[in-house]
Amino acid sequence: MESKKVILSGIQPSGTPTLGSYLGALRNWAALSVEFECFYMIVDMHAITARQIPAELRKVQYEQVALLIACGINPEDNTLFIQSHVPEHAQLAWVLNCYTMFGELSRMTQFKDKSAKNADNINAGLFTYPALQAADILLYQADYVPVGADQKQHVELTRDIAVRFNGIYGDVFKLPEPYIPEVGARIMDLQTPTRKMSKSEIADGGCVLMLDTPEEIMRSFKRAVTDSETVIKFDPKKKPGISNMIQIYSVCTGKEIVCIENEFAGKGYGDFKPVVGEAVVELLRPIREETHKLLADKAYIESVFKNGADKASYTASKTLRKVYKKIGFIEKPR
């Protein structure tokens, strides 16, 4: 029997994920285990490139493990773990730092964006974290990495690093491909619909979080920016606000965009906004309730990420041993 292809992805423990993260990524993760062997991790090592409050960082990691399970990611069918619990990530990252060019890291757009937002903390980790990200992927010989279109650059750099290493030492790493869902891959901010919905922009009120209450969700949609017209028509260039909400409603309900336009023909934004809000409330309600239920059982959450780390380490250690041997490191005697 042919083995399943491998998918790997990570989620930052920098707060509750947004509606955009759910519709564009997390919602699809649960279904992938049918076809793929899936490794999903909480990337706490990446998170510390920005200053974190330790107690909050720990709290969010528990919350995100619970949230992923509530999203349908069964720990029995997927490897769900915390990045720092698998030391091979840091070990391979250092090796790959030595095979990653300064110019390649300088061109990474996320480094430029994050440096602009954290001008008082432009640290080395912020610059070199793409090498850690490459290690995350290559440790598990991943075939695919689910990413948004704006993250393709990181997968391309990972491939470049792997090609360089393989060119020197032979066939060590598998070359990963980006796995980009066609629908709902890019949900925009409700207040500034020309930019992607992001936790970093939560202060402006345009971001819906997965654990928001129904009242908070409805308030966000009622305040959403639209345009001076009242026609409910999908036109991302001329009508980004209403187009974003049409896409959200389409992904939440499974309705085609043209059907939504016909359904609301002759109606105004005041009719449409609360309908979209209600669709989001009902979509997220069971996830929020299940997350809170799981968080009440701390021992279970800990058993999930312990077992996940053990399973991840088994695969990661095989890759690291091969890399160490190729570059000339001596294996520690058993």
Q: What is the pLDDT of residues 161-220, one digit of tens each?
A: 999 999 999 999 999 999 876 554 578 999 999 888 887 766 677 899 999 999 999 999
Which is nearest to 294 in space by CA: 211, 177, 201? 211
Give the span between the Cα atoms of 217 and 299, in whole angstroms: 31
Q: In the chain, where are the structural domains located?
A: 5-179+298-327, 199-292
Architecture of domain 199-292: Orthogonal Bundle (1.10)
CB atoms within 10 A of CB 155: 22
* CATH superfamily to which 5-179+298-327 belongs: HUPs (3.40.50.620)
Radius of gyration of the chain (CA): 21
> Helices marked H in 86-142 — which ranges?
88-97, 102-106, 109-117, 124-138
What angle, 0 to 180 degrees and rounded to 10, lies between the N-to-C axes of helices 109-117 and 124-138?
A: 140
The 3 state secondary structure assigned to 27-69 is: HHHHHHCCCEEEEEEECHHHHCCCCCCHHHHHHHHHHHHHHHH
Extract the runs of DSSP E, i.e. beta strands, from the chain: 5-11, 36-42, 79-82, 144-146, 177-179
Question: H or E segment at 13?
Answer: none
Q: What is the pLDDT along the chain (334 residues), one digit of tens a residue?
A: 568 999 999 999 988 999 998 988 888 888 898 899 999 999 999 999 888 999 999 999 999 999 999 999 999 999 999 999 999 999 999 999 999 999 999 888 777 777 777 778 788 988 999 999 999 999 999 999 987 666 788 899 999 999 999 999 999 999 999 987 655 457 899 999 988 888 776 667 789 999 999 999 999 999 999 888 889 999 999 999 999 999 999 999 999 999 999 999 989 999 999 999 999 999 999 999 999 999 999 999 999 999 999 999 999 999 999 999 999 999 989 8
- What pLDDT sits at residue 199? 77
Give the span between the Cα atoms of 76 and 324, in whole angstroms: 31
- Just list the catalytic residues: 114, 196, 199
Question: One-letter amino acid identity for 143?
Answer: D
Residue written as token pair 């966000």 = 220
- What pLDDT sits at residue 232? 93
